[in-house]
Amino acid sequence: MKPAKSKITGVDCFGDSRGNYYFGRPDALIAAGLVEPDQLPGKAGMPRTSVMFVKGIQQPRTARPQHNQDWMQVAKIGSAFRVTKGVTGEESERREQTEEDEREARSRIKHDPGLSASHEAVRDASALFKVGDSVTVAGCAAVISQGYGVHRTKEKGGEYLQDDGSRSSYRLGYIIQFRNGETYFVEAWKVTDPEGAPTHLQLVGVPSVRTQRPMIALRG
């Protein structure tokens, strides 16, 4: 998921090719103008957990409207809410292309930084976060849900095909949890401490010098 451009007090904001996601307590979401009080699930006459709107008009649960700029969904998650708003077709295509470019960039063959450089980068990196530590991701407060390691992530262009038809990859990083209880995988270098200071290095490929292999004498 990509961080949304705006930061709203008390609201965690993210976006991807499908739309923008806003997580927070009802008072914060209402104060930000993202939802009206009578649009919250669980209120009298409203569905208990989730409701959709098109141009502000509530839709029946069986409706399948387009997820464009007129579409909105409000879902109750614990004591918090998630407001999802669609974007225009042009914006969705632009974001999808950006995501595809990033996937291609990750899959390109890169220059090997070398074993020594890799060891040095890991050794010089700050201490790893532990489960329960408070962190910041894209300006939003979160906690570490699962520690640093290899995690399986669902991705549109993932390397592996699962039994249910979805695609996945194995990537190194953290599982984080936002205030509303939802969890996401995040690469380690995107996680900062609560003050925003970086804590992990991002390894990048640099031109490497190929050393000559030493001669090995065969025993007679």
| DSSP-H helix ranges across the chain | 26-31, 89-107, 115-124
Which of the pair, 211 or 174, is modelled with greater confidence? 174
Within 10 angstroms of residue 144's Cβ, the number of other Cβ atoms is 20
Q: Single out the residue of 171, 154, 150, 151 nearest to residue 163, CA to CA.
A: 154
- State pLDDT tens for residues 181-218: 888 898 887 888 777 665 665 554 444 444 343 333 33
- Rounded to an integer, what distance in angstroms lies between the CA atom of residue 193 and that of residue 189? 11
- Which two three-digit tokens encode residue 23? 């997580």
Cα separation, 116 vs 106, whole angstroms: 22
CA distance 44 to 46: 6
Model confidence over 112-162: pLDDT tens digits?
667 777 666 655 554 478 888 988 886 678 899 998 888 888 877 777 888
Rg of the chain taking only CA atoms, in angstroms: 22
> What's the full length of the chain, in residues?
220
Q: How far is CA 75 from CA 47, 157, 162, 216, in A?
A: 10, 27, 28, 66
Give residue 218's pLDDT: 34
Higher pLDDT among residues 36 and 199, named by residue: 36
pLDDT interval class at 12 (50, 70, 90): confident
- Backbone φ and ψ of 21, nearest 5°: -120, 130
Question: To the nearest whole number, what is the mean pLDDT of the chain?
Answer: 79
Q: Are 187 and 198 in contact (CB under 8 A)?
A: no
- Give the dihedral sign, CA 134/137/139/140: negative
- Under the banding of pLDDT at 50, 70 and 90, the label for residue 58 is very high
Asked if the model's pLDDT at residue 74 lies above 90, the reply is yes
pLDDT at 91 over 80: yes
Sign of CA dihedral 84, 34, 75, 64: negative
Are the beta carbons of 111 and 207 closer than 8 angstroms? yes
pLDDT at 29 over 80: yes
Task: Give yes or no for a contact between 47 and 38, defined as CB atoms under 8 angstroms apart.
Answer: no
Distance CA 23, CA 46 (A): 20
